[in-house]
């Protein structure tokens, strides 16, 4: 699973960094939700989130489609969440306050 995770991570990093203005502030996190499911979380500057998602979500949809197709060839499923640093800080605060459970995605 590690080799597949690294390949998918590399692909996602390459693609995402081509379309954002602040790649130096981007973070990519991955969690193994279960043995056949990887959950990727791409954390970006607020302005980069909108840019990467694209008009009507078309850019994000295209990235998710290619990522899913690559993962499916290996027999696994993937999910991708694109969010801002602010949203990630809020998520962590909620986890620490035990308001939500961290499911890894």
Q: What does the pLDDT read at residue 105?
A: 54
Write down the residue that tokens 């991955």 correspond to.
30
Residue 105 counted as domain residue: no
Instruction: Rounding to the nearest 10 degrees, give the CA dihedral for residues 53, 58, 64, 65.
Output: -170
Would 56 be classed as within a structural domain?
yes
Tell me the C-alpha distance between 33 and 77, whole Å. Answer: 10
User: Is the residue at 68 inside a domain?
Assistant: yes
The CATH number of whichever domain residue 87 belongs to comes to 3.30.300.20
At residue 97, the pLDDT reads 86
Q: Tell me if 101 is assigned to some domain.
A: no
pLDDT means per 10 residues in the chain (105 residues)? 90 92 95 92 95 92 95 94 94 83 60
Q: Is residue 79 part of a domain?
A: yes
- Its domain, for residue 69, covers 2-96
pTM of the model: 0.85
| 86 in a structural domain | yes
pLDDT at res. 101: 63
Q: What is the pLDDT of residue 104?
A: 59
**pLDDT at 86 (0 to 100):** 94
Task: Tally the domains of the chain.
Answer: 1
**Start-end of H helices in 1-105:** 2-19, 46-53, 58-73, 85-96
């Amino acid at each position: 699973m590690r080799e597949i995770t690294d390949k998918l991570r590399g692909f996602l990093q390459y693609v995402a960094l081509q379309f954002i203005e602040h790649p130096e502030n981007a973070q990519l996190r991955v969690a193994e939700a279960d043995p056949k499911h990887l959950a990727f979380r791409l954390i970006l500057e607020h302005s980069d989130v909108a840019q990467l998602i694209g008009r009507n979500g078309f850019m994000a949809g295209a990235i998710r489609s290619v990522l899913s197709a690559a993962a499916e060839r290996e027999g696994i499923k993937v999910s991708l969440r694109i969010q801002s640093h602010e949203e990630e800080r809020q998520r962590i605060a909620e986890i620490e306050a035990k308001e939500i459970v961290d499911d890894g995605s």
